[in-house]
Amino acid sequence: MAKQRESRWVKAVVASIVRPIMTAVTRAEWSGQENIPRDGGVILAANHLSMADPLTIAHYLYVAGKRWPTFTAKEGVFRIPVVGAVARSTGQIPVRRGTTDAVKALKAAEEALTRDGSSVIIYPEGTCTRDPHLWPMVAKTGVARLALTTGVPVVPLAHWGEQHLLPYGSAKLSPFPRKRVQIVAGPPVDLSAYRDRPITATLLKDATADIMREITRFQAGIRGEEPPAVPFDPRQARQEKIAAWPAEPVPGETADDTGAAPGAQPPADGAGTGDATGGSAEDGTRREDGRGGADRP
């Protein structure tokens, strides 16, 4: 029998506050909710556009999917007065990036899925996309590991529109006029080819690519556009930036012994870090295959 992870009255209060707000600031267009199991553990693997999309996805899952949303969230959230208490009371999973405690988050997600029968939202990319056109990026492999170790279905979830409500990297919320937010859930990804096999880095990479391919396919359907043939890879982009350094000297200045302009610094990554399973809202768990943190689940 599934364990009750959340406080019923806190859930009721949160839902009564969040639902009217989301209805007021978004014009939701939802589909595919029939693909979300009404009970039992399930991973919803979603693309990540904006710091606002945890709310829009939670709204969709709770209202259309009839499931309570469980996210992995960075540990700092749990230290915020009131917010942390609410997060704990609603069953959210804390993650501390770059520490061995990240392993505990992965274990907590496994228990939420198998013991408690929860619906856990995972961002396989581990952070908001850095693709210039906001397509899903190359993802971390934690979501595949979690799916294969627990045996629960992985439902691909694609969405579009939250970037107009709150662009990534901006603190400026633009709630009015209401923003059109489209969300679709697809049938569970077929991972049968990877089950009952030794879990290797190659297997996890291939399974993750299958999951991301489905998310991208459904987002392309929403957008009515053709996705890139090759997903944006933030690690590769960073390496290309580093290869392009040192910068050209500024006119009037003298290059140093490295050939770089005085004061020039290697380009920043800007890609963020993710956890081993792919968490929520910039959270993280342990790194997988050296690929980064919360890909985290």
Between 1 and 131, the higher pLDDT residue: 131
In a domain, 235, yes or no: no
Domain containing 93 — which CATH number? 3.40.1130.10
The residues near 61 (Cβ < 8 Å, ≥ 6 apart) are 36, 44, 67, 68, 69, 119, 121
| 272, 127 Cβ separation under 8 angstroms | yes
What DSSP assignment string belongs to 158-181? EEE-HHHHS-TT------SSPEEE
In a domain, 139, yes or no: yes
B/e letters for 179-210, b = 16+ CB within 10 Å, e = fewer, are bebbbbbbebbebeebeeeeeeeebbbebbeb
> Which pLDDT band, with edges at 50, 70 and 90, does 243 fall under?
confident
Q: Say what the pLDDT of residue 102 is.
A: 64
For 136-195, write each residue's pLDDT tens digit: 999 999 999 999 999 999 999 999 999 999 999 999 999 999 999 999 999 999 999 999
Q: Helices (DSSP H) in 171-279: which residue ranges?
A: 201-223, 234-244
In a domain, 178, yes or no: yes
pLDDT at residue 255 greater than cutoff 70: no
In a domain, 261, yes or no: no
In a domain, 238, yes or no: no
Handedness of CA 185, 200, 115, 284 (dihedral sign): negative
Residue 258 CB neighbours (<10 A): 9
Q: Say what the pLDDT of residue 2 is.
A: 58
Least confident of 17-26, 141-150, 287-296: 287-296
Between 271 and 30, the higher pLDDT residue: 30
pTM: 0.82
High-pLDDT (> 70) share of the chain, %:
79
Of 44, 54, 65, residue with least CA distance to 14: 54
pLDDT at residue 88 greater than cutoff 50: yes
Backbone φ, ψ for residue 7 (5° rounding): -80, 125
Q: Say what the pLDDT of residue 254 is.
A: 43
Q: Quick one: average pLDDT of 73-97?
A: 85
pLDDT at residue 34 greater than cutoff 70: yes
Backbone φ, ψ for residue 137 (5° rounding): -90, 180
pLDDT at residue 256 greater than cutoff 90: no
In a domain, 263, yes or no: no
Q: Say what the pLDDT of residue 172 is.
A: 93
Question: For residue 46, what are the β-bridge partners?
Answer: 157
Q: Quick one: average pLDDT of 256-269?
A: 42
Q: Which domain holds residue 104?
A: 8-227+273-296
Residue 223 CB neighbours (<10 A): 16
pLDDT at residue 277 greater than cutoff 80: no
In a domain, 266, yes or no: no
Counted domains in the chain? 1
Q: Say what the pLDDT of residue 76 is.
A: 81
| 54, 128 Cβ separation under 8 angstroms | no
In a domain, 255, yes or no: no
| 186, 35 Cβ separation under 8 angstroms | yes
Rounded-to-integer distance, Cα 259 and Cα 123, Å: 40
Rounded-to-integer distance, Cα 288 and Cα 276, Å: 5
Of 136, 149, 283, 268, residue with least CA distance to 204: 149
Backbone φ, ψ for residue 239 (5° rounding): -60, -40
For 192-231, write each residue's pLDDT tens digit: 999 999 999 999 999 999 999 999 999 999 999 999 999 9
Q: Quick one: average pLDDT of 258-262?
A: 37
Q: Say what the pLDDT of residue 17 is.
A: 95
Query: What's the mean per-residue pLDDT of the chain?
Result: 84
Residue 145 CB neighbours (<10 A): 23
pLDDT at residue 43 greater than cutoff 60: yes
